[in-house]
Amino acid sequence: MSWIREEDVPMSNVIKVMSILPSAMEAVGALNQAVTFGSSALTRVQEEAIATAVSVYNNCRF
């Protein structure tokens, strides 16, 4: 938990600190969507499979 006031929303702490400014959360979400699933030769399933494998390899739960 951060020292910044947070709304009770179901998301990671990295994003939760922006919960008091919904426009910031929306902007970060839109950026993430564009970068992660923008124009790619891979399908969404392939991208998710790669992200999962990398997360497992790095012992990351996200």
Residue 22: the pLDDT is 85
Instruction: With cut-offs at 50, 70 and 90, classify the pLDDT of residue 11.
Output: low
CA distances from 62 to 4, 5, 13, 41, 44 (A): 22, 23, 11, 23, 17
The pLDDT tens digits of the residues spanning 17-57 come to 777 888 988 898 898 888 877 778 888 899 889 989 999 99
- The whole-number average pLDDT for the span 1-7 is 59
More confident: 32 or 6 = 32
Residue 56: the pLDDT is 92
